Structure 1
Amino acid sequence: MNFFPVIDPEIRSATECYDLAGELAEMADDLGYEHVQTVEHYLSPYGGYCPDPVTLLTALAARTRHVRIITGAVIPAFTHPLKLAGKLAMLDHLSHGRLDVGFGRGFLPTEFAAFGVPMDESRARFAEGIEACRQLWTTDNLVWQGKFHQFGPVTLLPRPYQRPHPPIFVASATSAESCAAAGTEGHHLQVVPSVTSAEQLQAMLAAYREAWARAGHAPGGYRIQVKYTCYVAPRHKDALDSARQWEQSYVDHMAGAVAPLANGAGADYPGYEKFAEKAAAYDFDTALAAHKVLAGDANAVREQIGAVREALGTDIDLSLQFSPGGLERDKALAAVRLFADKVMPAFQDRRTPLATAR
């Protein structure tokens, strides 16, 4: 289950958003969901209610016992690695080793401008931030001489609960090269199908699996999370009506957030200038037919997931958002339970969660 708050304050307050996330996380914990995760964004209704995933996930960890707690994702470009590694290590302890850490590059020009970080440094800052955190989690008296940060010798406290460190995921939007790099490094993968074509996403996952194998990592030891919004209700039409409303709201907010990309995002973001064009050309029925959103009664959603697994592989894990936009609280809670009762049992071959180690 994932939480991505794309919502105007006039429709739902931050308090209401966090309270609903807590209720849904408790249900997920009781009903056998594998994880809960949230995102990092700033300043706009497009995710801006979650400027610090660690804060929200700490609250969710306190209300749950079984689900894994996932950052999906934190952005190293905006946080010093000493602070980021320390916050994440604390959360790993507070959740008793249930943390998975997803790292992302970020892609919204307004966020980079606000932090005073050039977008054309994003890839290098991303790579340096991941490696700095990994070494801080595992190395005594670390001396770090990076391009963007220099420090040491330091020994991080606390060290993570999990040894040698929490599982690392890398978020990739459109780049097969980024996916291949993650596979080579032995990192797990997070992707969002709504911003790619089916063929492009298949190529990204193929590049990842091939790079993982070529690097000699354990066969099948990777995790691939594919993120969807999911509207499921007892009546098919009710689910589709909600989906039409809130998917359009999501696309409209995304279009506003990515509008500055139309002027070009630089060499680090090839093709991102087309995001605004894709948003302007959005059509719900086309997106539904292409399985970029899951919507309908339980039978329809089961069929859609079957088609997704056939296209992308049975080794993927789905991360589903049941509370998009301003969807009513009761509908979101009912969707989580209906999915667990009527959809989840059809896919019992899904992998068991990663083992927790100390």
Structure 2
Amino acid sequence: MHVALVMECDYRQGRTQEEAFSEAFTIAEAAENCGLDGVWLAERHFATHRRPTDPMGAGIPSVVSVPLVWASAIAARSERLRIGTGVSVLPLCHPIRLAEEAATVDQISRGRLDFGVGRSGFARAYEGYGIPYGESRERFQEALDVILKAWTDDRLTYEGKYFRCENLCVMPRPYQQPHPPIRVAATTPDTFPMIGRMGYPLVTGLRGFDIPEVAQNLKRYREAWHAAGHAGNGNVYIRIPVYVAATDVQGQRSPRPAPCVPIGAWPRTLPAPRRAVVRPSQKSAWRGASASAR
């Protein structure tokens, strides 16, 4: 089991973008020094501080609109951490450019990139880029096909509905062969078995699901995985909110107001059935606590 840190690189009212960048790099350095296995970088677009007159506001602005650039900077500041995109929203970018950028990060980091991909459930990002959200699934599948071919074919030729190219030599090639590990995000129930059939490791979390729903979705993912004849049991990365404090008392009291922000935007997020307070010295315990939620 691996334990990593998810970074959304928020900056709240009263703070500056420069402070948000500095804080994020400090957190990544702490993850390296504390022995975490990796960091995962979200991708967020067009968020604004929530205002009653702005129904499109996403609540909390973020400076992580280009996660692969962040990944490159963190790679240069670390030696051991694996660095994941959690996730790169494939339909919003040209897949050949993404293939080039991800391979570059993989080379700079000497094979420490994990390439998490998805469609995103935020329609606002698609509106901002002028892409119909209804096309997201087809665009995602085509983009993933193009990226894989760009990394593995000597010359890339592709004829799809949204992307076309002929006889391209795409450079650089990834450091990891045949390519970095790919992990696909699932945020709706029907996506879990689809990813299982495709045979990809899974990214999911607790936003929009309670724990019994997560368990049922993972069951459907693994049933589809086995039905498609894939070896193993399917690997799952699940995002679990954690609050770190200096003492047990602070750990239980301080975070209570904070969940109101995301829960206000995600009303079906779990009414946590249990809590765990684990001291930093109990590394095996907090790994076990995370595993129990899977």
Question: Which TM-score band applies after superposition, normalised by the shorter structure?
Answer: 0.7 to 0.9
Query: Counterparts in 2 of 1:2-41, with a 5 A limit?
Result: 2-8=6-12, 10-41=13-44
Aligned to 1:265: none
CA distance in 2, matches of 1:180, 1:106: 17
- 2:221 aligned to 199, 202, 208, which one? 208
Match of 2:273 among 268, 273, 290: 290
Using the size of structure 1 for normalisation, the TM-score is 0.71
Give the alignment partner of residue 138 of structure 2, picking from 109, 114, 124: 124
Contact 1:86 1:157 in 2 (8 A): yes
Q: How many residues align?
A: 278
The one-letter amino acid of 2:261's match is S
Map 1:1-358; keep pairs closer than 5 Å: 1-8=5-12, 10-45=13-48, 46=60, 48-175=62-189, 177-220=190-233, 222-252=234-264, 255=265, 275=266, 278=267, 287=271, 289-290=272-273, 296=277, 298=279, 306=288, 309-312=291-294
Residue identity in the other structure for 1:214: A
For residues 88 and 108 of structure 2, what CA distance do their matches in structure 1 show?
A: 18
Write the letter of the residue equivalent to 1:5: C
Percent sequence identity over matched residues? 30
* Paired residue type of 2:179: H
**Per-residue deviation, residues 9-62 of structure 1 (Å, max 9, x unmatched):** x33322222222212222222222111111111111445311100111111111
Q: 1:47 to 1:215 in 2, by over 3 A?
A: farther
* SS across alignment from 1:232: coil
Distance 2:106 2:286 in 1: 34
CA distance in 2, matches of 1:249, 1:12: 17
Contact 2:9 2:24 in 1 (8 A): no
Q: C-alpha separation between the residues in 2 aligned to 1:133 and 1:295?
A: 41
Supply the AA of the counterpart residue of 1:196.
F
- 1:144-174 per-residue CA deviation (whole Å, 9 max, x = no partner) reads 1111111112121001111101110001113
Structure 1 residue runs of 5 or longer lacking an equivalent are 256-274, 313-358
C-alpha distance in 2, partners of 1:65/1:249? Answer: 34
CA 1:248/1:43 → structure 2, altered by over 3 Å: closer, same or farther?
same
1:195 is paired with a residue whose SS is coil
Secondary structure of 1:69 counterpart = strand
* Residues 174 and 201, structure 1, Cα contact 8 Å, conserved in 2: no
Is the CA contact 1:40–1:47 (under 8 Å) kept in the aligned structure 2?
no
2:260 aligned partner, one-letter code:
Q
RMSD value, Cα: 2.4
1:82 Cα deviation (Å)? 1.0
1:304 to partner: Cα distance: 7.7
Q: 1:71 and 1:47, CA in 2 relative to 1: closer, same or farther beyond 3 A?
A: farther
Structure 2, unmatched stretches of 5+, are: 49-59
What amino acid maps onto 2:249 in structure 1?
K
Aligned residues of 1:239 and 1:295 also touching (Cα < 8 A): no
Structure 2 CA distance for partners of 1:32 and 1:168, relative to 1, 3 Å? same
Q: For the structure 1 residues 13 and 242, does the alpha-carbon distance in structure 2 shift closer, same or farther, using more than 3 Å as the test?
A: farther
1:115, distance to aligned residue in structure 2 (A) = 0.7
Deviation, 1:196, is 0.3
Aligned partner of residue 27 in structure 1, secondary structure: helix
TM-score normalised according to structure 2 size:
0.86
Whether the aligned pair in 2 keeps the contact of 1:132 and 1:144 (CA below 8 Å) is yes
Q: Distance in 2 between matches of 1:225 and 1:155?
A: 33
- For 1:162, the aligned partner's letter is Q
Distance 1:26 1:189 in 2: 26
1:166-201 deviation line (CA, Å, top 9, x unaligned)? 1100011132x3122222222111111132022211
Q: 1:128 is matched by which residue type in structure 2?
A: E
